[in-house]
Amino acid sequence: MAQPLAVASRVESLASSGIASIPKEYVRPQEELISIVDVFEDEKKIDEGPQIPTVDLKSLNSEDPAEREKCREELKKAAMEWGVMHLVNHGISDDLIERVKAAGKTFFDLPIEEKEKYANDQASGKIAGYGSKLANNASGQLEWEDYFFHLIYPEGKRDLSMWPKTPADYT
């Protein structure tokens, strides 16, 4: 496993340290904040609020090549224009989705020292594992997130030793 990062390098540690305000390195410039509001206001005028695209995957495996291609194009457009989308008819049961969410919450509720056992090591190229996005974004500000990144495909890149043992049903 990767060497644990210093606890202070985690967003969770910073957020729970008792700071009275968000450090300036994380605050977006005023002009970006204004432009974000403008985009949302424009979207509200169009369709009662910003609406991420909903992509229906039922046609992804259609016998009809035209239906499959239409579905792929909707998926591609949503990914390129929004970077996020709401998928429906994906075939993943609500029960499985809830179990995955619960396992993730249980992991992130663990003490930081426990999560550090699964720390990634970006410097050595080991990107899978627990990390904090502390790199600058396009505006030069630091991102404000801790995450767990899994490589699952191709299967040869999958390293289950980096998957948390707690909760027991995480994997």
pLDDT tens for 17-26 read: 788 877 777 7
Give the residue from 22, 7, 16 showing the smallest Cα distance to 143.
22
Which token pair is 120? 């990634």
- pTM of the entire structure? 0.62
Q: What is the number of alpha carbons within 13 Å of residue 41 lying toward its C-beta?
A: 6
Amino acid at 74: E
**Residue 159, Cβ density class (10 Å: 0-12 exposed, 13-18 middle, ≥19 buried):** middle
25-70 confidence digits (pLDDT tens): 777 777 766 655 555 555 556 555 557 889 999 999 999 999 999 9
Q: What is the dihedral of CA 34, 39, 45, 49, to 10 degrees?
A: -100
Q: What is the CA radius of gyration of the chain?
A: 20
63-119 confidence digits (pLDDT tens): 999 999 999 999 999 999 888 888 999 999 999 999 999 998 999 899 988 988 888
